[in-house]
Amino acid sequence: MSPIYAFFQPTPSIAIVDGRRVHEFHCSATNCKGRGKQPRVVRRYLDTTDRNSTGNLRKHARQCWGEEILQGADSCGDIDSTREGLVKAKKLRDGSITAAFERKGKGKVTFSHRQHDKTETRAEIVRWVSESMRPFNIVNDRGFQCLMKTGRPGYYLPSGSTVSRDVKEVFKMVRSRVAKMLQV
């Protein structure tokens, strides 16, 4: 059994789609980032030569969990130790925009060697526009997009309205934290 199955519910469902039998694997990510009519479901048709392929499962797991966790799962070797690792990873990595702002110790600011995922990008842009008092729609600027996407044209950048919504959401969370601190 491939460790990739640990990213999905233990028992796939069996369904018939357009007269064809399929296994439906349901994603176990808390914040599934799948697409389509059933974003949590990855189907594997049983009447094809690649009915044992894990390619689509890997693609979905990479989208929901990230490349780093997927590589860690591959190094585990078996499905049980991978499931245990994923339970720990769920606690470490929350997909919400406010989780990206949690304080992770004090000290010197360091820069990562890996590219930000979608949530981290949104959080960093919220931090930047808030601290530097930039307009939300600066992300729509051609020059900014050229700088950010040089060498990686598929890099995700949020729209100005998404940045605006994220700033408001982070503000609400910070306001409630400050209110709790002042009540003490």
Q: Is the entire prediction scored with pTM above 0.85? A: no
Same domain, 86 and 113: no
pLDDT at 138 over 60: yes
More confident residue, 156 or 76: 156
Q: 163 and 109 in one domain?
A: yes
| Of residues 72, 67, 51, 62, the one with CA closest to residue 3 | 72
Same domain, 80 and 110: no
- Please tell me the distance from the alpha carbon of residue 145 to that of residue 131, in angstroms, as a whole number: 20
pLDDT tens digits, 144-181? 999 888 888 888 899 999 999 999 999 999 999 899 88
Q: Identify whether residues 8 and 81 lie together within a single domain.
A: yes
Containing structural domain, residue 179:
99-183
Amino acid letter for position 15: A
Instruction: For residues 156 and 118, state if they share a domain.
Output: yes
Last residue of a domain, one of 69, 92, 115: 92
Residues 84 and 22 in one domain: yes
The mean predicted confidence, pLDDT, of the chain is 82
pLDDT at 78 over 90: no
The answer on 32 and 81 residing in a single domain is yes
Over residues 1-15, the mean pLDDT reads 86
- Which among 87, 88, 81, 152 is positioned nearest to 117, based on CA atoms? 152
Partners of residue 23 on adjacent β-strands: 14, 44
DSSP 8-state code for residue 150: T
Out of 43, 72, 92, a domain closes at 92
* DSSP three-state, residue 27: strand
146 and 177 share one domain: yes
- In this structure, the answer to whether residues 86 and 9 fall within a common structural domain is yes
**How many domains does one find in the chain?**
2
Q: What is the pLDDT of residues 26-70, one digit of tens each?
A: 988 877 888 888 888 999 988 888 788 888 888 898 888 778 777
Both 73 and 153 in one domain: the answer is: no
Pair (52, 105) in one structural domain? no
Type of residue at 63: Q
Residues 103, 170, single domain; the answer is yes
Cβ distance 25 to 2 under 8 Å?
no
Last residue of a domain, one of 92, 114, 138: 92
